[in-house]
């Protein structure tokens, strides 16, 4: 009924965090020590194009933060790049630390609250050579990096996310299994990329200096042991951060679909919720908040996940356009975890900015409904601040509130940016 009352005034809390998100590798450019840089630039790469200088946020961050606050937003979620901080194992780059200190100082100057993510998909090349995200040593290595960063910068970081979308490899593994069995892999993953990946792994192994079977990047399909390693890395990092920065609020982010079912599909939907979320709850009990990320829904029938209906509106990623899913996922997450929630990513890939505006409106209506029912949603970070490098899919997918002319790196705020900023300034939707 709430969505049927267009004139209803929805007021958000005074200290609500209104912001937008980026990830270092997707915006900074020239991340030459990361595993992804190597993967993008090898012969036969599965990437549509390399990241290159991206949108040059490494150099233009101050202006971008100024744009964010000029729109009316008060929070910026960004990531610190492990491969820049520790380009060789045990050797920390003080110049890189100073750069991120400068970013945090810019946030302070503009009165912007930073939410910092310490790992957003990319890892140092040396970590992959040492076993990557299937190695028993990785949790300790990750905790050491997190402790170092927070000992240097933590006084300026009120909210820290250890790992972005720690559960993502589960979905990637399922999609690859479907593809290998001849199934119809769908929803946002370039299946042609999967085929090319099989063909170029031998070259990739040569580049890393290890066998193809040993290439365990963060986004590679995970074994059960590998999933445990990721979440142990989170808990070890959380404990290490608390030792050096006890005032920081610490969480993790997970990507969750709105799992739905038609008659006969209830068990499938329940199993997906368990695999993607519930099984990890023991690792999250000592967190201070939960970073929730949602883009669409998944609907299950008696035989498993149903395809997106032919008549459904879809995004550039192939997702069903479904902003109302966010409210449902917030409610489900709080029901099971009972912790404060920050929406760390929610958005839509489209060149139709009017659809982005409508998406923001509907998503925020759901957020407000949750707050009205007593769920402690602390903030909403739109994905993303800038049109950027969308991993294997290159620069063709437009998630940003701000367009970037990459020939000049000129920033062009979209109408959706001003619309979202107006909501933030007025705290009403």
* Gap between the Cα atoms of 412 and 92, Å rounded: 36
Six-digit token string for 347:
């958005």
* Gap between the Cα atoms of 382 and 353, Å rounded: 14
- Kind and range of the H or E run holding 419: helix 415-426
Mark 50-66 as b/e (b = at least 16 C-beta within 10 Å).
bbeebbbbbebbbebbb
3-state SS assignment for residue 225: helix
- Reading phi first (left if > 0) and then psi (alpha if -120 to 50, else beta), residue 43 is in beta
Six-digit token string for 138:
């990785």
Angle between helices 353-372 and 415-426 (to 10 degrees): 20
* Gap between the Cα atoms of 250 and 342, Å rounded: 11
3-state SS assignment for residue 405: strand
* Gap between the Cα atoms of 269 and 76, Å rounded: 33
Which of 340, 329, 324, 336 lies closest to 374, judged by CA? 340
* Gap between the Cα atoms of 100 and 237, Å rounded: 19
Active-site annotation holds for 165 = yes
What DSSP line would sit under 306-357, residue for residue?
Answer: PPPPTTS-B-TTS-B--TTHHHHHHHHHHHHH-S-EEEEE-----S-HHHHH
Q: Identify the active-site residue in 81, 147, 165, 365.
A: 165
* Gap between the Cα atoms of 300 and 302, Å rounded: 7
Six-digit token string for 225:
């042991």
**Catalytic residue annotation:** 165
């Amino acid at each position: 009924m709430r969505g049927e009352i267009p004139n209803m005034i929805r007021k958000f809390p005074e200290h609500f965090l209104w912001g937008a998100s980026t990830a270092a590798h997707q915006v900074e450019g020239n991340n030459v020590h990361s595993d992804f840089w190597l993967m993008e630039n090898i012969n036969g790469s599965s990437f549509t194009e390399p990241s290159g200088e991206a949108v040059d946020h490494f150099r233009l961050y101050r202006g971008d933060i100024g744009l964010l606050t000029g729109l009316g937003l008060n929070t910026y979620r960004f990531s610190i790049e492990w491969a820049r901080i520790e380009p060789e194992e045990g050797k920390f780059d003080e110049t890189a630390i100073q750069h991120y200190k400068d970013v945090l100082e810019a946030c302070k100057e503009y009165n912007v609250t930073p939410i910092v993510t310490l790992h957003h998909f990319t890892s140092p090349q040396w970590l992959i050579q040492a076993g990557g995200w299937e190695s028993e040593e990785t949790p300790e290595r990750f905790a050491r990096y997190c402790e170092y960063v927070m000992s240097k910068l933590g006084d300026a970081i009120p909210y820290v996310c250890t790992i972005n979308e720690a559960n993502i490899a589960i979905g990637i593994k399922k999609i690859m299994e479907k593809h290998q069995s001849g199934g119809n892999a769908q929803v946002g993953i370039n299946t042609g990329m999967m085929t090319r990946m099989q063909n170029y792994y031998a070259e990739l192994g040569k580049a890393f200096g290890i066998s193809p079977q040993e290439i365990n990047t963060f986004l590679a399909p995970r074994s059960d042991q590998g999933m445990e390693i990721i979440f142990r890395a989170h808990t070890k990092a959380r404990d290490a951060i608390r030792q050096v920065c006890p005032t920081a609020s610490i969480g993790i982010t997970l990507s969750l679909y709105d799992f739905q079912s038609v008659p006969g599909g209830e068990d499938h939907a329940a199993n997906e919720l368990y695999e993607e979320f519930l099984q990890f709850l023991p690792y999250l009990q000592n967190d201070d908040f939960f970073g929730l990320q949602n883009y669409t829904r998944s609907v299950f029938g008696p035989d498993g996940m149903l395809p997106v209906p032919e008549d459904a509106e879809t995004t550039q990623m192939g997702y069903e356009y479904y902003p109302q899913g966010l409210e449902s996922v917030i409610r489900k997450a709080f029901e099971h975890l009972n912790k404060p929630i920050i929406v760390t990513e929610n958005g839509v890939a489209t060149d139709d900015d009017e659809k982005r505006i409508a998406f923001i409106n509907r998503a925020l209506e759901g957020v407000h409904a949750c707050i009205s029912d007593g769920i402690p949603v602390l903030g909403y970070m739109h994905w993303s601040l800038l049109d950027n490098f969308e991993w294997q899919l290159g620069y063709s997918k437009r998630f940003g509130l701000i367009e970037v002319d990459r020939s000049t790196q000129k920033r062009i705020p979209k109408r959706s940016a001003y619309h979202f900023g107006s909501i933030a300034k007025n705290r009403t939707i």
